[in-house]
Amino acid sequence: MNQLSITTIPILPFGMVHCHLVVGARGCILVDTGTPGSEDKIGRALKKLGLGVRDVTLIVVTHAHTDHAGSAARLRELTGAPILAHAADLDYYERRKEMTYCVAHWWGPLFLRSGLPGEPYLPFTPDILLQDDASLDLGCYGIDGVAMHTPGHTAGSVSVELESGDALVGDLVASGVFLGGLIRKGHAMRPPFEDDPQAVGEELLGMVDAGMQRFHMGHGGPLPAAEVRRHALSLQNQKPGRQYGMQTVGCDCSRRKLAELGD
């Protein structure tokens, strides 16, 4: 097995939004692409590793929310790497349908009103589109692991399991107060939005039982398997929250707001 390294790339301050680089001896995979306009931050992270954008062999987008898919189209153009995602989120990637959000916390509607979750991004069609419960061996992209369908956060959520025992799970779990947070970083919690908490719990338990030891996510973390198991069990009796569309909360989506947070 080739030695792997996982680099967390901060997109917004205080651990609020991350994406990750998985680097092996034979390839480099980018997992998630940050908010719109994040390509320069990702380019700088690659440079620190002695790599360039053309060293990226695959882009994995874990789900269609703007803080994960926001720079996918631009990064595909820069890297020449294909994008992998799941068909269940395709309408959102192609911007043919408005994203809806099932809030998981009392402050979820307030967060929606900020406009940040609904920031529009350039539409794209993934080059590799997983169907149903399919998975893809990442060996041909130079990484020992698989990308797999792990629904629950959204219908088309995708995770990456590595032979090193690391799992990159997007928003199946978060940690810290609010997003990332300054305290309780080692405490697993639900992200602001979650379509089906019971499905999320099942997916997380499956990964723990499969031997995943460390969980890397888009907000906060990483977390050890024991803490992820505790959280997954707590989701067994949770019900989906109220569903909102961006128009129902009267949000003012503003690219400037994201830029201010990211500076």
State the Cα–Cα distance between residues 185 and 188, nearest whole angstrom: 8
- Per-residue pLDDT band for 6 (boundaries 50, 70, 90) equals very high
CATH number, domain containing residue 192: 3.60.15.10
pLDDT of residue 100: 79
Residue-wise pLDDT for 39-76, tens only, equals: 999 999 999 999 999 999 999 999 999 999 999 999 99
Would you state the structure tokens that stand for residue 18, as one six-digit string?
A: 């991350």
Residue 3's pLDDT is 83
**Per-residue pLDDT, 262:** 38
What is the pTM assigned to this prediction? 0.89
Label residues 163-182 b or e (16+ Cβ within 10 Å = b): bbebbbbbbbbbbbebbbbe
Contact 90, 132 (CB under 8 A): no
194-227 residue pLDDT tens: 999 999 999 999 999 999 999 999 999 899 999 9
Per residue in 97-106, pLDDT tens?
988 777 777 6
- Residue 244's pLDDT band (cuts 50, 70, 90): low
Q: Is the pLDDT of residue 108 over 70?
A: no
Exposed/middle/buried for residue 87 (C-beta within 10 Å: 0-12, 13-18, 19+): middle
The boundaries of the domain holding residue 229 are 5-262
**What is the domain count for the chain?**
1
Per-residue tokens: 72: 């996918």
Confirm if 57 and 29 have CB atoms less than 8 A apart. yes
